[in-house]
Amino acid sequence: MASTPMNTGDLVNLIESRLDRRGFQDQHWTGSFWDYLELASKQPEVLRNAYQRLYDAIMSHGWERYRVFKKECVRYHFFSDPFDKGADGIYGLDFALMQLVGFLRSAAEGYGTDKRILLLHGPVGSSKSTIARLLKKGIEHYSRTPGGALYSFSWLLDDRCEVSAGAEGAAARTHEYPSPMHEEPLILVPRAAREAILEQLNASYKPEFHNGKVRVYGEPDPFSRKIFEDLMAFYDGDWKKVMEHVKVRRIVLSEKDRVGIGTFQPKDEKNQDSTELTGDINYRKIAQYGSDSDPRAFNFDGELNIANRGICEFIEVLKLDVAFLYDLLGASQEHTIKPKKFAQTYIDEVIVGHTNEPEYKRLQNNEMMEAFRDRTIKIDIPYNIRLDDEIKIYQKDFGPERIRNIHIAPHTLEVAAMWAVLTRLEEPKKAGLSLLQKMKLYNGKNIPGFTEDSVKELKEEAPREGMNGISPRYVQDKLSNALVSRQAIEEKTVNPFMVINELEGGMSHHSLITDEETRKRYRELLSVVKEEYEDIIKGEVQRAISADEEAIKRLCTNYIENVKAYTQREKVQNKYTGRYEEPDERLMRAIEEKIEIPESRKDDFRQEIMNYIGALALDGKKFDYNTNARLYRALELKLFEDSRDTIKLKNLVSSVVDDETQQKIDVVKQRLIKQFGYNEASATDVLNYVASIFARGDTKQK
Domain boundaries, the chain: 146-310+329-350
* Positive or negative torsion for Cα 302, 306, 310, 313: negative
- Cα separation, 439 vs 460, whole angstroms: 15
Q: What is the pLDDT of residue 698?
A: 44
Inter-residue contact 263 to 315 (CB < 8 Å): yes
458-480 burial by CB neighbour count: b if 16+ within 10 A, else e?
bbeebeebbbbbbbbebbbebbe
Inter-residue contact 42 to 208 (CB < 8 Å): no
In this structure, the number of other CB atoms found within 10 A of the CB of residue 566 comes to 21
Inter-residue contact 559 to 565 (CB < 8 Å): no
* Residue 505 φ/ψ, nearest 5 degrees: -65, -35
Find, among 686, 657, 407, 658, the residue nearest to 544 by Cα.
Answer: 686
- Cα separation, 374 vs 598, whole angstroms: 60
Find, among 295, 294, 304, 296, the residue nearest to 274 by Cα.
Answer: 304
**Weakly modelled stretches of the chain, pLDDT under 50:** 1, 653, 698-702
β partners of residue 379: 120
Q: What is the pLDDT of residue 268?
A: 64
- Cα separation, 701 vs 698, whole angstroms: 5
pLDDT digits 0-9 by tens, 387-432:
999 999 999 989 888 888 899 999 999 999 999 999 999 999 887 8
pLDDT digits 0-9 by tens, 148-164:
999 999 999 999 999 88
Amino acid at 512: L
Inter-residue contact 647 to 545 (CB < 8 Å): yes
Q: What is the pLDDT of residue 271?
A: 61
308: helix, strand or coil: coil
Q: What is the pLDDT of residue 6?
A: 66
- Cα separation, 442 vs 461, whole angstroms: 14
Mean pLDDT, all residues of the chain: 88
Find, among 226, 692, 669, 300, the residue nearest to 497 by Cα.
Answer: 692
Q: What is the pLDDT of residue 192?
A: 87
Find, among 325, 274, 330, 298, the residue nearest to 161 by Cα.
Answer: 298
DSSP assignments along 628-641, one per residue = SHHHHHHHHHHHHH
- Cα separation, 69 vs 389, whole angstroms: 15
Burial of 330 (0-12, 13-18, 19+ CB in 10 A): middle
- Cα separation, 288 vs 267, whole angstroms: 33
